Amino acid sequence: MKWIWAWKGCIATLAIGMATVACASQDHKDSGTNTITLGPRPYYLVSDMDSGPAKETLQACAAERRPQRRSDFSIGHRGAPLQFPEHTEESYRAAARMGAGIVECDVTFTKDRELVCRHSQCDLHTTTNILETELANQCSEPFSPFDGTRAASAKCCTSDITLAQFKTLKGKMDGANPQATTVDEYLNGTPDWRTELYRQRGTLLSHQESIALFRQLGVKMTPELKTPQVPMPYQGDYSQQDYARQMIRDYQEAGVSPHRVYPQSFNLEDVRYWLSATPAFGRQAVYLDGRDSSGLDPQNPGTWQPDMATLKGYGVNIIAPPLWMLVTTDAQNRIIPSVCARSAQQAGLDMIAWSLERSGPLANGGGWYYQSIPSATNNDGDTLALLDVLARQVGVIGVFSDWPATTTFYANCLRQRRSAHPHAQQ
């Protein structure tokens, strides 16, 4: 796509599908985040890979220890929630420090129709401390303890409170204990492969505050318009289009260039609305591909509604399926592109995959995100094996990750190898 080549710092010999892997975000100076710090995790994953050419290449990059550059291939999924509370200032700063060229704010609205960064309109009971505050009295459903049969539960939504009230809360690691009999026990539900070390300062942000922060950090932005969990139109006159328009308007009023924004939605009509009403933003809009919920089989085109050609005909340029939809295994148990991925390539659709490192240890197959390749997934190093196939064979232009250091390392490694061998074949 032509707009990809407008980005600075690209290696011109790369295929379009790989352009963002080779590009660092150089069109904007970042404030105080020029030094990219990866930490030990990417190197741990390299050492845990199965033997083969991909491991050898990545080992060579790890040995070189060159300075890392920010890359648009590396997308901070909710920031860096493997260790930091999601959608908090601390999580976003960590993602930028790890070289994410693009960072995500999931967007939903409050009782007074202000936009805030939350993964779901109704997740405050698992992602914040609301149940420990007086605002618990305003939750849609109060805390209900485990009674020996029914799991502990609660339901607290951004639409239950105002923006001012939202800003009094503190973000925590996402999780809840279904067998809790007290609020304290309920909030103590973080998976054991994440950490509580950084939950002490979970600073929540409005959408507008996230824009200001991302500009300061020098990263591009990918806001996701979350599906409302209250009836629309809300309060009688706030329609879905009003909601979609408001999100884009925040960028327009902040003076953010459309080429730095990738609006997302699982609702195809939101994407089509942006294409029609705000085409400068719409041409980079991302259709989050949730067709699996309606029976999509990645190996059977007859199950795809709508199909790839129809999406392209609507004007959609980028689709974002989950990891597993883009890959399968061959007779030798090697990870290869799925029929779905090949069809998207043929239709001229760019692809972004989600979400790497959102699973726990991969010794047992990786769970939901790896469901199409469990026989090829048995150690943490398979994270990079999958990433290598997504980049070099599927041709994704970016990957969401809960720990962006891994995707940043990979993007820099591929850039280094192609800089040394510009005519190397994939």
Domains of the chain: 2-105+205-420 (3.20.20.190), 122-203 (no CATH)
How far is residue 83's CA from residue 374's CA, in Å, rounded to a whole number? 25
At residue 418, the pLDDT reads: 61
pLDDT tens-digit series, residues 398-415: 999 999 999 999 999 987
* pLDDT greater than 90 at residue 296: no
How far is residue 264's CA from residue 106's CA, in Å, rounded to a whole number? 9
How far is residue 69's CA from residue 35's CA, in Å, rounded to a whole number? 8
The strand pairing partners of 328, in sequence order, are 336
At residue 410, the pLDDT reads: 98
**Residues across the chain:** 426
Written as one letter, the residue type at 43 is: Y
Full-model pTM: 0.91
Helix then strand count (H, E) for the chain reads 15, 15
At residue 294, the pLDDT reads: 82
* Mean per-residue pLDDT, 383-387: 98
Q: β-strands 286-288, 264-265: how paired?
A: parallel
Tokens for 64, please give them.
């070189």
pLDDT tens-digit series, residues 210-236: 999 999 999 999 999 999 999 999 999
**How far apart, in Å, are the Cα atoms of 68 and each of 34, 35, 183?**
10, 8, 43
Q: What value, to the nearest 5°, has the Cα angle with vertex 354 and ends 334 and 285?
A: 130
* Mean per-residue pLDDT, 376-385: 97
Q: Which pLDDT band, with edges at 50, 70 and 90, does 293 fall under?
A: confident
How far is residue 26's CA from residue 424's CA, in Å, rounded to a whole number? 25
pLDDT tens-digit series, residues 319-343: 999 999 999 999 999 999 999 999 9
pLDDT tens-digit series, residues 93-121: 999 999 999 999 999 999 999 999 999 99
* pLDDT greater than 70 at residue 289: yes
pLDDT tens-digit series, residues 354-367: 999 999 999 988 99
Residue 110 neighbours by CB under 8 Å, 6+ apart: 116, 158, 159, 161, 162, 163, 165, 166
Q: How distant is the alpha carbon of residue 319 from its chain centre?
A: 13
The b-or-e profile of 135-167 (16+ CB within 10 A means b, else e) is: bbebbeeebebbeeeeebbbbbbbbbbbbebbb
The strand pairing partners of 116, in sequence order, are 108, 206
Rg (CA), the chain: 21
